Structure 1
Amino acid sequence: MPYFTYQNKKIFFEEYGTGIPLLLLHGNSLSSRMFLPVVNDLQKYSKVILIDFLGNGYSDRLSSISDDLWYDEAQQAISLIDYLGYSQVNLLGSSGGALVALNIALERPDLVGKIVADSFEGETPLESFVANIYQDRAISKENLWLRTLYQQNHGDDWENVVDNDTLAIYTHYQNHKTFFHKNLCELNLPVLLTGSKEDEFMSGEFFENVYTKLPIRDKRICIFEHGGHPAMISNKDTFIPLVISFLENIEK
């Protein structure tokens, strides 16, 4: 398995296909395996890069995850891009991975072409989500389907992975309040924002309202009527052509 070293830890990554690099950034408590349903289609148009952030998937484990986790994961991804020697990499992040994608673009815009940010909360955490996260994660660990999903993504130590992630999210809310170190108004790259009205965590008009208010200069918004969280998986047959069209449009 391919790895690179980041702060004396091994981070797993994979590459598929040829063409302009497209880095896929996974959500919280998951790994790059979440993208298996879309990799085959995306690699027809791009060189798809997968990464497992530290503490997840095939990457080395951590005793604890940084409470500035989405910024720290952005630094991991930036190190991978530098390691591979790429520039003008397109980014596709889902849920927590969308926060990582935007952090990458804010910190190293010289490395990035376009960004697809799917099914995320906006600039700040949802208090209602964070307040209930311990209870919700405890329930999820008793759900057979989710237990299987966690194990498929992380292996036999999945419960420790989920617990570390839960603590990091809760502590982030206490210590940081915002997801980004820089203001989104500084972002000058094209961004496609997607979500679903039937998202289990942020339903109805949430995404439309939040995305419209984001101070991103060059943004496109697409909200699906149906489908659960994340929209890119539940609406993949529509989502993939949308993303390909966005990425292949040479107009900035």
Structure 2
Amino acid sequence: MPYINSNGVNLYFEETGAGDAVLFIHEFAADYRTWEQQVRRFSRDYRCITFNARGYPPSDVPADDSDYTYQMQRDDILAILDHLGIGSAHLVGLSMGAYAGLQFALSFPDRVRSLVFCSGGSGAAPGGRDTFVQDTIAGANRMEAEGMVAGAEGLALGATRIQLLNKDPRGWAEFRQYLAEHSAYGSAQTLRNGQALRPSLHDFEEELAALDVPVLLAVGDEDDPVIETNIFLKRTLPRAGLWIEPRTGHGLNLEEPGEFNRRVAAFFSAVERDRWLPRDPRAAPGRSVFMGDQDGN
């Protein structure tokens, strides 16, 4: 099996295709296998890399709390690009992976050709940190105590997952099976030390406003916990576009793979043609919708 060592943790990865690099970064409830429909499409034109995060076998499941921070997830992206000799890549992240990808872009913008921020949340929303931390740690404790089969059943029937079941029962069953195969300890540690403790993206507003990286924000309109975050990011990131897919939950790439692939391909094309430009200042939300300034601008 191919592995990359990142700060002493071995990460399993796969690569398919040739050309400019696309790195896919999975969500908490998924793994490298859930990008299959994207790899089959984009490996025709790109060098596609998928990997399992730390705590997700066949990647290592380290014992220490300090191995599961959001900074470690960010640095794992750097280790993968460095190991594979990739100067810059298109990053496609879902949820936890979207957060890691955005943190990587803030730290290493020259290594990011573009970022697809899909179904991403902020961490705790403003004013809700204590409740968010308590709920996340409680979920981690329950997952570790009851095991991943019970955890997978509960997560797969969550409010933002039922859409996949209704659209694609076969795909939902596969998603649930993959989730049940995860490490209960690795998943619980990821929740406790990564998800619960990571700072809110609202804390990075100044840095986000200065980030000169093309970003496609993608979210389902029934993914209620993260919609407001994506609106905040649209208004803050200078080179962001927002796509909201109707009647769709959290696993956007699984629910609507055809539309996901089409939108991402168009985004990559615009970036590569240097046509994903910063927002025109004349479209600033504070300006009048009826008239420009007195100079006619």
Into which bin does the TM-score normalised by the smaller protein fall? Answer: 0.7 to 0.9
Deviations 1:110-159 (A, max 9, x none): 2111111001123x42335544234556486172784985662574x622
Of residues 252, 262, 265 in structure 2, which corresponds to 1:241?
262
The reply on whether 1:161 has 2:160 as its aligned counterpart is no
Change (3 A) 1:153 1:19: farther
AA paired with 1:152? Answer: Y
State the 1:8 CA deviation: 2.4
Moved more, 218-227 or 182-191: 182-191
- Aligned partner of 1:226 in structure 2 is 247
The reply on whether 1:20 has 2:42 as its aligned counterpart is no
- Aligned partner of 1:152 in structure 2 is 178
SS at match of 2:243: strand
Q: Do the aligned residues in 2 keep the contact of 1:29 with 1:165 (CA within 8 Å)?
A: no
AA paired with 2:75? Answer: Q
Deviations 1:217-245 (A, max 9, x none): 11111011121212222222111111001
Aligned pairs, number: 245
- Aligned partner of 1:132 in structure 2 is 135
Moved more, 2-11 or 132-141: 132-141
Change (3 A) 1:148 1:164: farther
Q: Do the aligned residues in 2 keep the contact of 1:96 with 1:120 (CA within 8 Å)?
A: yes
The reply on whether 1:212 has 2:196 as its aligned counterpart is no
- Aligned partner of 2:4 in structure 1 is 4
Moved more, 82-91 or 130-139: 130-139
SS at match of 2:197: helix
Larger Rg: 2
- Equivalents in 2 of 1:248, 1:209: separation in Å? 24
AA paired with 1:120? Answer: G
- Identity of paired residues, percent? 21
- Equivalents in 2 of 1:47, 1:242: separation in Å? 18
- Aligned partner of 2:213 in structure 1 is 189
State the 1:68 CA deviation: 6.9
- Equivalents in 2 of 1:211, 1:170: separation in Å? 19
The reply on whether 1:141 has 2:144 as its aligned counterpart is no
State the 1:167 CA deviation: 1.4
Q: Do the aligned residues in 2 keep the contact of 1:198 with 1:226 (CA within 8 Å)?
A: yes
- Equivalents in 2 of 1:244, 1:56: separation in Å? 28
List alignment gaps of at least 5 residues for structure 2. 144-149, 157-172, 277-297
List alignment gaps of at least 5 residues for structure 1. none
TM-score (norm 1): 0.84
SS at match of 1:80: helix
